[in-house]
Structure 1
Amino acid sequence: MLEPEDIADEMMWTGDAKVLMDALIEVGFIDVIDNQLFIHDFQDYIGRLVDKRKKDAEKKRMSRKSSKEKVEPVRGTSLGQSADSFGDGARNSTVQYSTLPNTITTTADEMEKIEKAYSQIHGCLGFKPKDWPLVTQFINQGIKSDLIIEVMREKHKKKLEEGGKVNSFSFYTNAIKERAEQDGGQDRLDFINDM
């Protein structure tokens, strides 16, 4: 679970961390539910992002289909990119590997599932901004969220038993790579080693 000092550090707050936390709770930005901290309406915002990405993916699919059927093509997406763009707007490739399916929809769904599990495991608000690229790389390489979540739970439990604390998702990366190597064989390992 993140301490007020951790949140203050991430927000680059130089004053008293408790004062910042109290203010965030008072103005309703942070909700306290069962002694856990949550960003107010976070799931509503994430849900809209997932819906937007699903709509964009559908627009792209229809555009590709329409070019074959001589139907008017989609002019763009809500991310401002062309229908033939090979990125998701965050410079992440959405080009599929021949054996590993990868679409904007599954990427968003997988990432949401991983962040929700991370939040539950750590009793926090979610990933730090610096953790998102690591998670995105694993998902884009076809590593399933269930494997990532299983590794997080195992490693976090072991770290707690040792009396330690996990400060970011990067703590799990080597263990995730090792497990993916065991579960996925050499093809998956080639993608992972490029990280």
Structure 2
Amino acid sequence: MTAAKFIVIEGLEGAGKSTAIAICQQFLEQHKVDFINVREPGGTPIAEALRTIVKDNHGEQIASETELLLMYAARSQLLHNVIRPALAKGQWVLGDRHNLSSQAYQGGGREIAATTLDSLANIVLKGLKPDLTIYLDIEPAVGLARAKGRGELDRIEQQALSFFERTRARYLELAEYDNTIKTVNAGQSMEVVHQDIITVLEQFMKSNN
């Protein structure tokens, strides 16, 4: 491959993103790919501070629009200071969430108009889009049960089940019409999920050689 690639892992809470990222890391290392890891929101000092604001309970209700703007502010910092420079020098980028999360969580879950999200995305992304997104699909109730098993839930994880059902519906809707988004059934056994992820990565590498 001649050009650096941007790969993103997406999914609801409890879908297994951390494990999927570890699988992707191992796969890229085996193929001797020079890459970096990033996460959203976060990845720079300012973006990490914004992550804390988004994730924590502050004794004050965070408006949906505020949450949306915080997400894009953090994304802007990460793109400007980390992702774009890495891609420019030939490094691949492996991301834990990206713009699809905002479309699903704030657009689907919070029911913010798509036109609003598109306006912010145009300003912040300036046309940048992942080359591959692996979306780990799971029933919200199952994912939340897994997340609760990990410990205390953050502010977003504490949302009602209906919020995550709307978020999942938007994920699936967007994945249906974008051939760079590959859906993996995260409700299967761990071994099958892992193999499905590897298969997606192998197909991606083959199509880009």
Higher share in helix: 1
| Length-normalised TM-score, structure 2 | 0.23
Higher share in strand: 2
Greater RCO structure (CA 8 Å; 6+ sep)? 2
| Length-normalised TM-score, structure 1 | 0.24
Answer with 1 or 2: which has the greater Rg: 1
